[in-house]
A and B are shown apart, each in its own frame.
Chain A
Amino acid sequence: KAGVTQTPRYLIKTRGQQVTLSCSPISGHRSVSWYQQTPGQGLQFLFEYFSETQRNKGNFPGRFSGRQFSNSRSEMNVSTLELGDSALYLCASYSGAVPSGANVLTFGAGSRLTVL
């Protein structure tokens, strides 16, 4: 069973540009969440998509957006990049079903974004 795949793994952008990151969840998983990881802030929740709908949203500005496709693949976009957006962006998936037990998030390896 393939894991969660994130592309690209590394990218460098300049301030003001925009970036799109992609995440392919584990087959059968309908929920995809995005997190931003920085040394100072730890793991910050961005948003969660389930069946093409945003189900939960963290406390990030509107420059951060996402979407999910019918095959559960998800993309996140950051517009008008700022230096502070430099981070590791992690995607995680799980089945999304109403839990009768623990819901285990499976993470991808992340996309490392550097903004110059």
Chain B
Amino acid sequence: GEDVEQSLFLSVREGDSSVINCTYTDSSSTYLYWYKQEPGAGLQLLTYIFSNMDMKQDQRLTVLLNKKDKHLSLRIADTQTGDSAIYFCAESFTGNQFYFGTGTSLTVIP
């Protein structure tokens, strides 16, 4: 359950939608998470999804989970410059083991 992969960089224009993708290898994960890291700061939880769900929406954020393909995505609608950060997906097993992806650096162009 340790292979969680993300593309390294994503660049979008302000006002467009951003889609950050994540693939994982272990299907026994219970929850999948998205964290955001701003420069000089720790990680902040954005949202999470239970592994038996397909989708979760939370204001501008939409999480899609394709368990068959082991693919997780985070869509940010109406992306703002304040959304520029590194985004990490993570999976957990039995609640106390977490594995993080490599992180995707999102740059929002004004």
Indicate whether A45 reaches chain B with its CB closer than 8 angstroms.
yes
Interface of B is mostly: strand
B96/A107 in contact, CB under 8 A: no
Residues of B within 8 A of A104 (CB): 33, 45, 48
Which residues of chain A from 17 to 60 have a CB within 8 Å of any chain B CB? 31, 33, 35, 42-43, 45, 48, 50, 55-56
Indicate with 1 or 0, residue by residue over A75-116, a CB within 8 angstroms of chain B CB atoms. Answer: 000000000000000101000101100111111111000000
What's the least CB distance linking B57 to chain A, in Å? 16
Q: Which residue of A lies closest to B42 (CB)?
A: A107
Contact of B102 among A35, A42, A92 (CB under 8 A): A42
Contact of A56 among B50, B96, B103 (CB under 8 A): B96
Given contacts A43-B100, A56-B97, contact A103 B92 (CB under 8 A): yes
Residues of B within 8 A of A45 (CB): 97-100
What's the least CB distance linking B76 to chain A, in Å? 20
What's the least CB distance linking A19 to chain B, in Å? 19
What's the least CB distance linking B47 to chain A, in Å? 10
Contact of A102 among B41, B50, B97, B101 (CB under 8 A): B50
For the complex, what is the distance from the CA of A103 to the CA of B45, rounded to whole Å? 11
Indicate whether B88 reaches chain A with its CB closer than 8 angstroms.
yes
Contact of A107 among B43, B94, B97, B103 (CB under 8 A): B43
Residues of B within 8 A of A (CB): 30-31, 33, 35, 40-45, 48, 50, 88, 92, 94-103
9 A-B pairs closest in CB distance: A107-B42, A99-B95, A42-B102, A43-B100, A107-B43, A102-B31, A103-B95, A102-B48, A109-B42
Q: Given A45-B97, A102-B48, A102-B50, 7 more contacts at CB 8 Å?
A: A42-B102, A56-B96, A56-B97, A92-B42, A98-B95, A106-B45, A108-B42
